Amino acid sequence: MVTEAEKLLAHEFAEALGISKKTLMQYEREGKLPSAKRYQSGKLLYRYYTPEDLIIARQKLNIPPPFPIQRRQLFMNLKGGVGKSVLSYNYAYRVAKLGIKTLLIDLDAQAHLTTYAGLHPEKIKLTLYNVLLEDLPIDMAIQHTSLPTLDIVPSNLTLSPLELSLFGRHAREYRLQRALQPIKDKYQLIVIDAPPNLSLLNVNAILSVQDLIVPVMADFFSYDGLRLLFESLAQFRKDLVYELENVYVLLNSFNALETVCQQSRKALETHYKDYLLKTIVRKSTTFSKSTAAQQSVFELEPSSKAAQDIDSLVQEILGFSYQSQANSKHKR
């Protein structure tokens, strides 16, 4: 059964393909695309599509992937409480809703991301612990979410002793990178949520990704954690000869009316200008509501400023959204 969260209206589906709604209807009449699904509300019959329909339609119309190569991205900050799990889940959900096969990986034993995805950590038997320590194929630890294009490698308290268990292993810093190799063609986007520390597990994560996204709150404690993180990254470059392709700093929970927020933003613009994203995630009760409901902000309040800011984040980092795709060569 298709949930409300999965349904894309005709204009959304057309925009994600980069064509007009009129052209979409024409393609369906000509048999170039399958006909829309339909559901009844009252006396009216509505057309709808799913994220999986987007995948099929792109193949039939020979539309190239929204971004050319698989992206592996890590949400991390050495300070806790900056909203990593909330941001990473909603970011991945938004991309998956646009018909992109997406995998979440929860590296934190507290399992906030796993819980947000609607799973029960205490009931999960296979996690990243089994993958990294017992060489379990990672696809055996993957769980499905309510969105068909979004999967997750979940976490629970079994991850707690992983650090000590990995310490004596050969090439211990690269075990996650190697574990991901067999599924590199299955998912176009892999999003990792990391715990707030510089552990061996997080070193594995850094060495497995191309992009690092660092959420910071608009306060000076987060700013100090950011300084420590950049010092650690410099040490990685020296010791492990590894360079991330992109490092993004994301200002989260921003309130323009608060003086400390304005001061923090100015400090970030002064010292981290080359890394600071233009997108700012504004303070919003929608995030806390969605966490409690174990739903994305797009399911709970799709028109909220929280949803708008996540959509802006996706567009800035990946260059992909309904609106950006509508300008592609396929539009008529």
Q: Give the global pTM.
A: 0.91
Parts of the chain with a pLDDT under 70: 1, 321-332
Q: What is the DSSP string of 171-210?
A: TGGGHHHHHHGGGTTT-SEEEEE--SS--HHHHHHHTT-S
Per-position b or e across 129-141, b if 16+ CB within 10 A of its CB: bbbbbeebebeeb
For residue 254, list its beta bridge partners.
282
Please report the pLDDT score of residue 322 as a whole number. 56
Distance CA 56, CA 51 (A): 9
Please report the pLDDT score of residue 332 as a whole number. 32
Contact 143, 152 (CB under 8 A): yes
Side chain identity at 114, as an amino acid letter?
A: T
Please report the pLDDT score of residue 326 as a whole number. 42
Other CB atoms within 10 Å distance of the CB of residue 119: 21
Contact 308, 314 (CB under 8 A): no
Please report the pLDDT score of residue 29 as a whole number. 95
Please report the pLDDT score of residue 321 as a whole number. 64
CATH numbers and ranges of domains, the chain: 4-60 (1.10.1660.10), 71-322 (3.40.50.300)
**CA distances in angstroms from 321 to 40, 97, 192, 243, 298, listed in the order given:** 28, 10, 21, 28, 14
